[in-house]
């Protein structure tokens, strides 16, 4: 059979005949023909739309979120005592080495070193925020903060 305009047909299974409703009660779709009961909803275009009056109740019943929630994430905190325990003398401290030594989680983006504990090793801190006293302790131990 040649492919011509009068021989074109859609692919098998792509066309579906629409359901014929309202053909008697024996069909299972009689009486109201799947249109529900009487009245406004039985008519075409009879949907109610947005019910503005009941929206007030919805708004009142939602829980109120009190206070202020900052969008900025707080940096992970690392103490000087942790650096003393996990690092050797002369090592560099940055986010990647902190993740390797499991002092911070793998999804952490920012870190801050806090002054808690003692530090006696020379460490080079790069790309990490420090508190003022923690930075002084690192430099007094012989290390540096970049």
CB 146, CB 126: distance < 8 Å: yes
Instruction: Name the pLDDT band for 50 (thresholds 50, 70, 90).
Output: low
Q: Given this model, what pLDDT does residue 49 score? A: 65
Note whether residue 21 is domain-resident.
no
Q: Dihedral (C-alpha) 80, 86, 89, 95: value to the nearest 10 degrees?
A: -70
Note whether residue 17 is domain-resident.
no
Instruction: Name the pLDDT band for 12 (thresholds 50, 70, 90).
Output: very high
Note whether residue 57 is domain-resident.
no
Determine the structural domain holding residue 127 and report its residue range.
Answer: 76-145
Closest to 93 (Cα-Cα) out of 70, 75, 120, 111:
111
Collapsing DSSP to helix, strand or coil, 97 comes out as helix
pLDDT digits (tens, 9 = 90+) for 77-87: 999 999 888 88
Q: Given this model, what pLDDT does residue 39 score? A: 87
Note whether residue 113 is domain-resident.
yes
Closest to 80 (Cα-Cα) out of 105, 127, 125, 113:
113
pLDDT digits (tens, 9 = 90+) for 52-103: 667 777 888 888 888 888 888 899 999 999 988 888 888 899 999 999 988 9
Note whether residue 108 is domain-resident.
yes
Total domain count, the chain = 1
- Using a 10 angstrom Cβ sphere, with 0-12 exposed, 13-18 middle and 19 or more buried, the burial of residue 44 is exposed
Note whether residue 6 is domain-resident.
no
Region 104-121: mean pLDDT is 90
Does the pLDDT value for residue 47 go beyond 90? no
Q: Given this model, what pLDDT does residue 24 score? A: 92
CATH number of 133's domain:
3.100.10.10
Say if pTM beats, i.e. exceeds, 0.75: no
């Amino acid at each position: 059979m040649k492919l011509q305009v009068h021989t074109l047909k859609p692919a098998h299974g792509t066309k579906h005949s629409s359901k014929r409703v309202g053909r008697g009660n024996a069909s299972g779709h009689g009486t109201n023909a799947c249109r529900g009961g009487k009245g406004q909803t039985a008519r075409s275009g009879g949907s109610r739309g947005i019910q503005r009056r009941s929206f007030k109740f919805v708004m009142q019943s939602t829980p109120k979120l009190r206070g202020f929630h900052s969008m900025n994430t707080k940096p992970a905190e690392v103490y000087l005592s942790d650096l003393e325990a996990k690092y050797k003398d002369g090592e560099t401290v940055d986010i990647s080495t902190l993740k390797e030594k499991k002092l911070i989680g793998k999804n952490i983006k920012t870190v801050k070193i806090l002054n808690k504990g003692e530090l006696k090793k020379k460490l080079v801190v790069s790309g990490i925020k420090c508190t003022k006293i923690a930075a002084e302790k690192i430099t007094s131990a012989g290390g540096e903060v970049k």
